[in-house]
Structure 1
Amino acid sequence: MKVIAVDIDNVLNNFSDTLAQSTFIFKDSYGISQEKFSHYLKLVKRDDFAESKFLTNKFSDFRHRIHEECYPLAQANADGVKFMNWLKANDWKVVICTKRNLRLAGECTKKWLYENQIPYDYLVMALNKIVFCKLWDVPYLIDDDLLNITYGEHYGIQVFYPIMTKHSSIVYQTAKGFTQFEEIKQWIQE
């Protein structure tokens, strides 16, 4: 069986660009001060984290809420949509594998995938996609995360990634970078 896992944000869409370009207005419903709002927003836009000894805190709640505002605004990558439809037409099982908290953002994620005509068989949340792929025998992963790009093949997962500026810091990796999804076809043909 042919199985592949594909990330959403910054792979099938332009999430980081959307986040960077979006304007967010302070609201009392955020439950933080105007000063804290400005500080947290800068951190979120830089994809940075506020220091905390807790996994869930005011910042993590704020970060999720800002991301949730951006999810429906992110534009689908037309090349990625075409590739996803090619996968389904060629009998691939497609796992959308995301770090999004699907308990909180599952419905808007499904809606976005549907509206952008992106087919899939499974939608899963995985903080460590290499472990997920290894445990579920998914040999291929398309993802932009530096950790997966660097260590995927070490665990038997072939990783493909859209080449982005943030990838210039990678010293050693065996993953394959691409500029067009079409390039991936040659690497996954049996």
Structure 2
Amino acid sequence: MPRRRGDTREQIREVALELFAEQGYEKTSLREIAERLGVTKAALYYHFKTKEDIVTSLFEDFKADIDELRSWAREQPVTPELRREVVRRYAEILRGAGKLIQFMQENGPAVREMKAGGDARERFRAFAEILVDKDASLPDQIRARLSLFSLNLAFVLRQEIDADDEAVHAAALEVALDLLPSD
């Protein structure tokens, strides 16, 4: 049975992330991605013209999930429980985007150069505003942002901590919830 276009596209994205993790973004070529997949460069070009196009497609999925959560949260009355639920849901989005988060952290300089990376940072800032009032104290504003950042950082730490991914995720969520300012 032939592969559907969407399947091939998803396989390209997965293989690219694997190679980026192994070699780094800058050192990975489209030719290597095609070779790992067992397809021609022309077949790869049918789906993506550049490595940045691949990364942009990954960011688009992630951003859509974040935007959906942000839209939902903005329609809710702001309460401490809403903020806790937002952090829980954000943690689940990150869990699903683990390889992308790891890529972002390991390839910071390259990501900063990409438009998609800049968009992600802007979304993070806007998302943090849901977690704390703009008139809150500076320590509370920092706590809210650290809450989100701690979930991102867990992806780096899981390689350094002797615990399985589930345990690290649960611990990071606990820390993130504890960091939220108390209203």
Q: TM-score range by the shorter chain?
A: 0.3 to 0.5
Larger RCO of the pair (alpha carbons < 8 Å, separation 6+): 1
Instruction: Give TM-score, length-normalised by structure 1.
Output: 0.34
Structure with the higher fraction of residues in strand conformation: 1
Instruction: Give TM-score, length-normalised by structure 2.
Output: 0.35
Structure with the higher fraction of residues in helix conformation: 2
